[in-house]
A and B are shown apart, each in its own frame.
With several copies, the nearest count.
Chain A
Amino acid sequence: MRVEIRATAFDPWLEVAAFRRDHLAAGRIGASAVFVGTMRDFNEGDDVKSMVLEHYPGMTEQHLETMTQDAISKHHLSDALVIHRVGTILPADDIVLVAAFSAHRKEALIACREMMETLKSTAPFWKKESLASGERWVEKNTAG
């Protein structure tokens, strides 16, 4: 299991490739389900120039680690990887990566989606957007 909070840009596809190579025994996994969330240059009808992502150091990591460990146990995953950006983020930057690895496809697909929903609804992160007209806090995440 790996959970990481990043203050700098990352390439989610390189991360997944490296994680599979370094942490998963070749030939043992049949399924990799990956979700990547990326910053859009629009939200709720407005152009967004940049964003600041705040978190609760200590609580956020602990929360994501428990979530990931629970998903591995519940779905009998081979392993799982979560990376989340914080700090100043620009449009087209990747914000979050959730990857689940298992022998069969069902478990990885369900776990990946469940982890994303848990992360969106409960992980302590907050977004503040910069628009042409000023700044605004994102009020609430949409349902998945």
Chain B
Amino acid sequence: MSIQVRFFASLRERVGHTRLSIESADIATARDVWQAVSASPLDEEMLVAINKAYASLDKAVSDGDEVAFFPPVTGG
């Protein structure tokens, strides 16, 4: 399974990447995607989007999905 991974704002700076592309047969959910890119657990308040829509960490991902991780939003 091939997943495009994106990071925004403070999380982008902490991870040190804007985008990553991962290939793995062991990925079922967004949580698995995070574990594939980071050794530390994802902070509870961090947010997840799959294909540009909010999702939970336990949501299933599919081949070709874009999965994004980012901190609480501060616009407006």
In-complex A–B contact (CB below 8 Å): yes
Q: Which residues of chain A have a CB within 8 Å of any CB of chain B?
A: 37, 53-56, 58-59, 62, 84, 95-96, 105, 116, 119-128, 137-141
In the complex, what residues of B have CB within 8 A of residue A54's CB?
8-9
Contact A123 B9 (CB under 8 A): no
| Minimum distance in angstroms from A104 CB to a CB of chain B | 11
**Interface SS of A by simple majority:** mixed
In the complex, what residues of A have CB within 8 A of residue B73's CB?
120-126, 141
B38 within 8 A of A: no
From A84, A126, A140, contact of B70 by CB (8 A)? A126
In the complex, what residues of A have CB within 8 A of residue B76's CB?
37, 84, 95-96, 105, 116, 119-120, 123, 125, 141
> CA of A59 to CA of B66 in the docked complex: distance in angstroms?
11
